[in-house]
Amino acid sequence: MTDHHIGLIVPSSNVTMETELPRMLNARESVRPEDRFVFHSSRMRMKHVTPEELRGMNAQTERAALELADARPDVVATACLVAIMAQGPGHHCVAEAEITSALRTEGAEAPVVSSAGALLSGIGALGARRVAVITPYMRELTATVVDYIEDAGVEVVDALSLEVPDNLAVARLDPADLRDHWRRLDLRRADALVLSACVQMPSLASIQPVEDEAGLPVLSAATSTAFRILTELGLPPVVPDAGSLLSGRVTSPAAS
């Protein structure tokens, strides 16, 4: 039995990443009991999802990474998809490199995963070229997410903004409501559905039910991050009832 230590860089108001990721990986233990997962978090201040607060939070990344380096994690995952995407196309590569560099200055060699990069590689791993997206963001920030995804070569055929600016309010959204929200999207040309393009908006409880009903792969920023964590650890990306991406049928992340 092996313990895998996972470092999380989390916005201070995010309470969902530390709920859904452990829930998925603990569920994995029921089918793969040889692997166990231990979590260590470092937080960056952010209360409202505005461009100003997102920039301020990003400025705290190095400090958060250095704190995690002391715990010698096996992999580090950074949350807040929109904070990275708001910096411009491809910025997840820059952010991941910055965190990697900070870790290495302290002798930590852990691979780094961002929720932004993970979402792109999850879409790619499914072979999806066209997606529909649900976000909790205001429309302007949703447009930023759409542009970022499309810059990576994936067409966004439709997008729904729930327009909740307060980050703690996002965490209080009922994931069961997504079982109705997805019906507001035009999925006729979609290859996959991103049920939550935000690691703060809860969605795990609805991933499999919506996938079963919609008849196409359903993923989220959180399931994509779990997929990348597992593949970076060299483990089969299998989590029960978490959608096609974590079904075990998809084994290799696409380059992001």
User: Hey, which residues are catalytic here?
Assistant: 80, 198
> d(Cα 7, Cα 241) in Å, to the nearest integer?
24
End-to-end C-alpha distance for the chain, whole angstroms: 31
> d(Cα 146, Cα 157) in Å, to the nearest integer?
9
User: Under a CB-based contact definition with an 8 Å cutoff, are residues 17 and 28 in contact?
Assistant: no
DSSP for the chain, written as a single string: -EEEEEEEEEETT--SHHHHHHHHHHHHTTT-TTEEEEEEEEEE---B-SHHHHHHHHTTHHHHHHHHHTT--SEEEE--HHHHHTT-TTHHHHHHHHHHHHHHHTT----EEEHHHHHHHHHHHTT-SEEEEEESS-HHHHHHHHHHHHHTT-EEEEEEE----BHHHHHTS-GGGHHHHGGGS--TT-SEEEEESSSSS--HHHHHHHHHHHSS-EEEHHHHHHHHHHHHTT---B-TTS-GGGBSS---PPP-
